[in-house]
Amino acid sequence: MDAAVKGSIGVFDSGVGGLTVLRALRGALPAEDFIYLGDTARLPYGTKSRDTVVRYASQCAGVLAARGIKALVIACNTASAVGVDLLAQRLAPLPVIGVLEPGAEAAVRASRSGRIAVIATEGTVQGGAYQRAIAARRPDAVVSARACPLFVALAEEGWTDGPIVEAVAHRYLDGLFAAGPDRPDTLVLGCTHFPVLKGVIARVLGPDVTIVDSALTTAEVTARVLARHGLARGEGIGTVTLLATDGPARFARVGSVFSGEPVFPDDVEVIDL
Ligand code: DGL
């Protein structure tokens, strides 16, 4: 196999939430090897300043680049919102893919009315990157956005269904989706943690709202980018290496919720950034 094709795909997130993206990537690209880094010691990124997130994201990317990756996927929405262009410049010609642009693209494709809601972390909402990415593709779109920090905490706790999650979902979403001509027809899950709450969110919103999960669209975009650069592996079964900046026991326990399959502490290598 050509040395360039042989390299792994680096994926990083502020923690284990990005395992939802890794799961989608492995589904779309089963022959590829992946190195996933969860910066669990410094989670959350979503409440931190732009400068801090840029610094943390640069360090994560640096560690993965030093391991000889052939492409980088920023699985964290907050880090994608502030770091994708910067890291693409620094790491060129290595392809760098964020989750935000694919999510915006999918939302525009899904929405008929152009009324699109985005839920994300505080940092992502305040930075306005989703709003800009959607407007760039559809200038007449009306985008409403809301930070849903408790969803992150609930997902981390493994509470992905039940009356408490449903009550929180109503509190966050009822206002955003109030009945009337301005009610959005599409919701973007603009945070790594939200796909595991998708069932409850869908129930609260009802069938007339399309939910866009940026993990799946990011995997599609990554497959296209690898093919375009002649970096895609044709066959075989790929491997996954897991790195974290904090304890493997919590990574494994919470990570199993996001991976949809068991993660074992012994499979997690702890590193310092
Ligand atoms: N990974 C973050 C994101 O997708 C959510 C968790 C955090 O705040 O770090 O925005």
Q: Which of 11, 4, 7, 5 is nearest to 26 (CA)?
A: 11
CA 45 / ligand 1 centre spacing (Å): 6
**CATH fold for domain 3-98+216-270:** Rossmann fold (3.40.50)
What's the CA gap between 106 and 213, in Å, rounded? 8
Q: Which residues of the chain have pLDDT under 50?
A: none
Check if the beta carbon of residue 131 is closer than 8 Å to that of residue 118. yes
Pocket test for ligand 1, best of 192, 194, 196, 257 (most atoms within 8 A of CB): 192
CA 234 / ligand 1 centre spacing (Å): 32
> Could you confirm whether 148 is annotated as catalytic?
no
Of ligand 1's atoms, which has the minimum distance to the CA of residue 46?
8
Query: What CATH class is the domain 101-214?
Result: alpha beta
- For residue 265, give the amino acid letter: P
So what's the pLDDT on residue 234? 82
* Helix, coil or strand: residue 245: coil
* Domain-wise residue ranges, the chain: 3-98+216-270, 101-214
So what's the pLDDT on residue 235? 83
CA 78 / ligand 1 centre spacing (Å): 6
So what's the pLDDT on residue 2? 72
- pTM summary value: 0.94
The answer to whether 3-98+216-270 and 101-214 have equal CATH topology is: yes
DSSP assignment of 176-218 equals: HT-SSTT--SEEEEESTTGGGGHHHHHHHH-TTSEEEEHHHHH
Q: Is the CB of 124 under 6 A from ligand 1?
A: yes
Catalytic residue, candidates 76, 94, 154, 252: 76
Distance, CA of 42 to chain centre: 17
Q: Is the CB of 214 under 6 A from ligand 1?
A: no
So what's the pLDDT on residue 1? 63
Pocket test for ligand 1, best of 19, 76, 156 (most atoms within 8 A of CB): 76
